[in-house]
Amino acid sequence: MSQRHFSLLDRLCMGADTALRTITPGAAKAFRHNPADTASEGISETSRQHTAGLMRINHTGEVCAQALYQGQAATAKLVEVRESMNQAAEEEIDHLAWCEQRVRQLGSRPSLLNPAFYGLSFTIGALAGIAGDKYSLGFVAATEQQVCKHLSDHLKQLDDDDHKSRAILEQMLIDEGEHATSALEAGGIDFPQPVKKLMSLTAKVMTATTYRI
């Protein structure tokens, strides 16, 4: 059923359901198969803890992405923009589930700070939606570009034989790049470098805290 048939109350209820499924460990279910399922396990014991920290960062990043998209969808002016946000959020659920599965496989857990980051990101997304669809879409593009940089950096830090983590991050990199391109093509503005720099500094706070907590 199209999003346009849902009332505001319906959307709020669905948003609450999405929030609970996002921040509750093990609740997110992927639509696509996990690319790590067909990859061999080759990570060394000395790298396991570091890789778990990297995957925990990526998992929290997907929690933030869910919140951003839900916040923007709640305040988007145009129905087609709202629906595109919801579609992107569904695709990000795959990443959320894959990252959590990998974190568990590495003997660790998701970040304890996820609920706080979800709330903050939802608020930012809602404000971006209120500012206007071109700014909302531009924020999506800038955010996904930042995510791509993090993923590329994390790929360089993985063990050469860690095929499972690599398979997940490589697919995420493809998907995030497509989301950034789609947002700009849909009318999003390309944010100036000072704004992107500020977003990058904010992202560093998230990565520094969730690596260990």
Residue set of the binding site for Fe cation: 62, 92, 95, 144, 176, 179
Per the annotation, where are the binding residues?
A: 62, 92, 95, 144, 176, 179
Q: Give the whole-angstrom CA distance, residue 69 versus residue 185.
A: 17
Query: What region does 171 belong to: left with phi over 0, alpha with psi -120 to 50, or beta?
Result: alpha
* Three-class DSSP category at 211: coil
Q: Give the whole-angstrom CA distance, residue 39 versus residue 88.
A: 26
Q: Give the whole-angstrom CA distance, residue 81 versus residue 4.
A: 11
Q: Where does the chain show beta strands of DSSP type E?
A: none
19-47 b/e with 16+ CB inside 10 Å = b? beebbeeeebeeeeebbbeeeeeebeeeb
Closest CA to 67 of 147, 133, 121: 121
